[in-house]
Amino acid sequence: MKPVAEMSQAELAAYVQTHLQKRGIKLVLTGGAVVAIYSHDQYVSLDIDLINMYSAKRREIHAAMVELSFTQQGRHYRHSDSQYIVDFIPGPLTIGAEPVAETEQMQFETGQLILLTPTDCVKDRLSAYYHWQDRQCLSQAILITKTKQIDLSEIERWSKAEGKLDEFNEIKSKFI
């Protein structure tokens, strides 16, 4: 196994996910780390945000992270050999008001990584743009569309369901 100090963000996320999965804790990677992975590190994030799918107890997560030599710092976990911080976010896994129906999987030497699909990652970033006018998240959504195939009609459908169809129509040309 590769040392933690040599793991990429995706490899570290897979390492953590796989270890916790063996203890019955199901997680899905979301947020900026997914953008970094799909953009081939054109976007940089130092966070690994993992959604706790089935409300595993915090003490169970803590015990598993200690086994991996992570230490808790507030609500985050850090390994002394890594620049990345790991955060466990309570489920359910939703984007806006809708539950996420499917995920992607990637295999690494360090384990299996379960993460949002490219289309759901764009929706996740647009959610922050729509609701908080976060222009950085809009830029991240656009970046993903330049490196990955997305389902624009699904994003339009979701935007309408979120009550943000006008906003989507204003930015739609950026995704083509």
For the chain, what are the domain ranges?
4-116, 119-175
d(CA 84, CA 32): 12
Structure token pair of residue 162 = 């979120």
| pLDDT tens series, the chain, 176 aa | 899 999 999 999 999 999 999 999 999 999 999 999 999 999 999 999 999 999 899 999 999 999 999 999 999 999 999 999 999 999 999 999 999 999 999 999 999 999 999 999 999 999 999 999 999 999 999 999 999 999 999 999 999 999 999 999 999 999 97
d(CA 116, CA 3): 26
Q: So what's the architecture of 4-116 in CATH? A: 2-Layer Sandwich (3.30)
Q: Determine contact, residues 142/150, Cβ cutoff 8 Å.
A: no
Residues 6+ apart with CB under 8 A from 136: none
Global pTM reads 0.95
Element (H, E) at 145: helix 135-147
